Amino acid sequence: MTPLISIITVVFNGKNDIEKTILSIQKQTFTDFEFIVVDGGSTDGTLDVINQYKHIITNFKSEPDNGLYDAMNKGINLAKGKFLWFMNAGDEIYEETTLEKLFAIDSFSSDIYYGETALIDENRIVLGTRSELSKRKLPKKLNWKSLQIGMVVQHQSFIVRKEISPLYNLNYKVSADIDWVIICLKNASKIVNSNLILSKFLTTITLGINYSGGFSTKNHKLALKERFKIFTKHYGFITNLYNHAYISLRVLKKYLMKLMPFPS
């Protein structure tokens, strides 16, 4: 029988993080899902942790890959469910009734479901939601044009029907997720705001060189370059240039305000 949802976890040397992810999936009260784990050839004991939970893992693959997005593509290719949900090592489904609450909305008859994300630290303490801690608020009505100024929805809180999902474009080394989300939104006929917190995102996670949650200076520059290409492709050069100029002016204004002395 075809599962309704494919929950996909990608990991590389994440022995300290993956168990929390697995447990959050195991605890779900709604059980019409398959659980796929794609490991990039971990050598730190991650496989020992995974082996403890073989009974709940539907499909497992462990082999070297060409980075995070290559591993996620492997997950998509393995998936047999009608929907895809990436919950990578260190991230958690928000609560044990999350899938049950999502199903209650419309029995998963739409194309995309999205929601809020709780950001957590290394001690698993919730720091607040992404909208509370970020200037990029989660839109009430998300569509493909919503991402013109950046990633306004967290990947872990974005569930998409498989038939409208492309593979990740491996030409983008650090920003393929933005391109993927935009394409999914373009392909969707019905997009639903769940009005739920769907996931917990570990903000300081490091899963090895390829799967780092943080950007080095080099990767940050590459991300900016890739995003400019992606946004130009989807929104046009003039619109993209305007949006980037507006963002740059806001940053410059804030910087100048910090430099200005307060009147005595």
What tens digit of pLDDT does each residue of 6-23 get? 999 999 999 999 999 999
Per-residue pLDDT at 240: 74
Q: Where are the domains of the chain?
A: 5-214
74 sits in which H/E element:
helix 68-78
Per-residue pLDDT at 219: 79
Across the chain, mean pLDDT equals: 89
Place of tokens 């593979």: 167
Which tens digits make up the pLDDT trace of 219-238?
A: 778 888 898 899 999 998 87
Which tokens go with 234?
């989807």
Mean pLDDT over residues 24-43, rounded? Answer: 98
Per-residue pLDDT at 99: 98
Identity of residue 101: K
Residue 142: CB partners within 8 Å, gap ≥ 6?
A: 112, 114, 152, 153, 185, 191, 193
Per-residue pLDDT at 221: 82
Please tell me the distance from the alpha carbon of residue 51 to that of residue 109, in angstroms, as a whole number: 34
Please tell me the distance from the alpha carbon of residue 247 to that of residue 136, in angstroms, as a whole number: 12
Task: Let me know if domain 5-214 sits in CATH 3.90.550.10.
Answer: yes
Please tell me the distance from the alpha carbon of residue 179 to that of residue 151, in angstroms, as a whole number: 10
Please say if the pLDDT value at position 253 is more than 90: no
Per-residue pLDDT at 260: 59
Please say if the pLDDT value at position 78 is more than 70: yes
- Among 37-46, 116-125, 146-155, the range of highest mean pLDDT: 37-46
Query: 53 and 27 in contact (C-beta within 8 Å)?
Result: no
**What does residue 113 show for φ and ψ, rounded to 5 degrees?**
-125, 135
Mean pLDDT over residues 55-68, rounded? Answer: 96
Please tell me the distance from the alpha carbon of residue 155 to that of residue 159, in angstroms, as a whole number: 8
Q: Which of 231, 152, 163 is nearest to 193 (CA)?
A: 152
pTM: 0.87
Please tell me the distance from the alpha carbon of residue 43 to that of residue 261, in angstroms, as a whole number: 53
